[in-house]
Chain A
């Protein structure tokens, strides 16, 4: 276990996350596995949708990408449900350079993004719904999510409990 990963795990435990195992396990396809592994080492593109946790999430992604020596592309920032913006995103996903897309989005945006990704032939490494309380723990939670999606994308994170009143978010890691 690398130092970075240990730090992430420690951080997650501190802010009340439970770690669960890989959600989209591979079905014995070693060629696909190695392709995925090499693509995960390519550039990272963060995506956010205008929540109060955007900056913390992006900070987590940035720190992890830096620690891993990964190129970090400029963040995609979506605000609202403007069809033209999602159209451009769809075209970008279709034409884009290989990248690992890591995001923290509201439910509506995530529904759209993940389906555009399907149409672009993207690979889904993890998708997880969260309810994040609007208190002091929210920032560290978002930051931890950003870090984990880069360092350990095949691990899903679940809030350990008591967050039913929190604001709904979806985190995801996909490969274009």
Chain B
């Protein structure tokens, strides 16, 4: 039955105790920064997953502006056993957005903690608060004419480095493995104490943002994709802006080419001839990036017919697979590497190379080139217009960077998606030795049958990929426990042990990555 005073209460918390906790929160952050009315909470409940909104409804939202406020908030949470779900910018679209992982959790929104604390143009480091966006950093770097380049994920403009890195997201430059480039965190623990990782605990230290390891166990990793603490500051490395940047694309006409593409690219990537996270994008992903809507071509239901996809490819000049990569450095360096790459491609006898000069400002090349050079944009949101209806889940299994693995994954994914009436909208992101296979499971969330199919499809993707020895590296909040199971009972037990030690009342994001006390 609906509670007359609150839309929902946190699990296990009485109305009386919630009243008292909210009063304490108001004393800490101010009454205006404690949101409980339906119209203020609605945008924190906007999910894209195929489950009922009510499963992810927040009971309240707290807007903190200082570390001291965060410390005081967790103390109140311990007193009243109120669970909180922390977000930075809250733009993890398709993974849960700004909504809490479980119904009734209080959202702790850190978007107002948005100070760029330090950028060192000589050491190429940054230290920022959780609410800082990539656009904000980009504007700062441009305004101060700093010779630095950012690495960012596709929702770059409105997302931020803290949230993306803490969720182990990736970008598209040579610094695209964001957690690898992270250096130093400030964490508010569940008991209110403040931990600085790496060199950050040493009095008078100046190396917090340049030396990651410090002394003893390196702790940073346990705070990513977890619920052991709240990150209130994060350091990371920035790439020096190269004098020459040369983006390019290679178009392949056949789906079967994926095997060969990866075998050609892997040696170039591992040897750093191609230094950035190469993308191999499927035709429909590219169609979304080129502003194509499915209804422009096809009015039917279910899977988009191959003949329609072929027509889109023809109209937009897209391949079945479209490789994006870039070279960075001096002219001499770029020229040498360009020759190596073009020689390899020529020897393979496949693929059409497209340079920036040839592509001009056409999409999707333009936005891909921007992402590879650290320029924020929003073009990839066009994926949400492909099918429409507001449903999106990222299915992101990892594999070795081998052609045979990618071929197998692409075929398996397409078969399962098509079986459920959904399209394969996917890309591979080539790490140094791994492959992130990122698939956007797009569906019409306003259509109950399609929503049900999307849920079944996602479950089957997880199950069938697991049977083949694959697991996802990240998942939306509706499937966290399922994915935690993929990594085995011992890992789950260790994570629970850590949780009980660091957060004995289980107030920090219970359920995040399947971790609870």
Q: Which residues of A contact B (CB under 8 A)?
A: 23-29, 32, 36, 80-83, 86-87, 90, 106-109, 111-112, 114-119, 121-125, 127, 129, 131, 134, 164-170, 175
Q: Does B322 contact A (CB under 8 A)?
A: no
Q: Which interface class (under 10, 10 to 19, 20 to 34, 35 or more) fits B? A: 35 or more
For B157, the chain A residues whose CB sits under 8 A away are: 83, 86-87
Partner of A168, one of B36, B383, B444: B444
Which one of B38, B97, B135, B445 has the highest number of Cβ atoms from chain A below 10 Å of its Cβ?
A: B38
For B381, the chain A residues whose CB sits under 8 A away are: 81, 108-109, 111-112
Q: How far is the CA of A118 from the CA of B299 in the complex (A)?
A: 33
Q: Verify B36–A117 contact, CB threshold 8 A.
A: no
Which one of A111, A122, A129, A165 has the highest number of Cβ atoms from chain B below 10 Å of its Cβ?
A: A111
Q: Verify A27–B4 contact, CB threshold 8 A.
A: yes
Given contacts A82-B378, A129-B446, A167-B295, contact A175 B384 (CB under 8 A): no
For B384, the chain A residues whose CB sits under 8 A away are: 107-108, 111
New A-B pairs, 4, CB < 8 Å, besides A83-B376, A108-B384: A107-B390, A108-B383, A112-B378, A164-B447
Q: Does B158 contact A (CB under 8 A)?
A: yes
Q: Verify B135–A167 contact, CB threshold 8 A.
A: no
Q: Which residue of A lies closest to B380 (CB)?
A: A81
Given contacts A167-B293, A167-B388, contact A116 B158 (CB under 8 A): yes
Q: Which residue of B lies closest to A36 (CB)?
A: B39
Q: How far is the CA of A115 from the CA of B94 in the complex (A)?
A: 13
Q: How far is the CA of A83 from the CA of B446 in the complex (A)?
A: 27
Q: Does B338 contact A (CB under 8 A)?
A: no
Q: Verify A27–B3 contact, CB threshold 8 A.
A: yes
Q: Verify A112–B158 contact, CB threshold 8 A.
A: yes
Q: Which residue of B lies closest to A29 (CB)?
A: B37
Q: How far is the CA of A36 from the CA of B42 in the complex (A)?
A: 14
Q: Verify B158–A118 contact, CB threshold 8 A.
A: no
Q: Verify A27–B6 contact, CB threshold 8 A.
A: yes
From residue A145, how far is it (CB to closest CB) to chain B in Å? 15
Given contacts A32-B37, A83-B377, A165-B301, contact A115 B90 (CB under 8 A): yes
Which 6 A-B pairs have CB atoms at the shortest separation, nearest pair first?
A168-B388, A118-B43, A124-B42, A123-B39, A165-B299, A83-B157
Q: How far is the CA of A28 from the CA of B4 in the complex (A)?
A: 6
For B291, the chain A residues whose CB sits under 8 A away are: 80-81
Q: How far is the CA of A32 from the CA of B378 in the complex (A)?
A: 34
Partner of B39, one of A28, A81, A109, A175: A175
- Chain B 374-396 interface mask (CB, 8 Å, partner A; 1/0): 00111101111101111000000
Q: How far is the CA of A98 from the CA of B76 in the complex (A)?
A: 34
Q: Verify A26–B39 contact, CB threshold 8 A.
A: yes
Q: Does B91 contact A (CB under 8 A)?
A: yes
Q: Which residue of A lies closest to B94 (CB)?
A: A111
From residue A157, how far is it (CB to closest CB) to chain B in Å? 12
For A121, the chain B residues whose CB sits under 8 A away are: 40
For A131, the chain B residues whose CB sits under 8 A away are: 388-389, 444, 446
Q: Which residue of B lies closest to A122 (CB)?
A: B43
Q: Does B111 contact A (CB under 8 A)?
A: yes
Partner of A115, one of B37, B38, B43: B43
For B158, the chain A residues whose CB sits under 8 A away are: 86, 90, 112, 115-116
For A81, the chain B residues whose CB sits under 8 A away are: 291, 377-379, 381-382
Q: Does B313 contact A (CB under 8 A)?
A: no
Partner of A108, one of B37, B97, B377, B382: B382
For A123, the chain B residues whose CB sits under 8 A away are: 37, 39-40, 42
Q: Verify A166–B295 contact, CB threshold 8 A.
A: yes
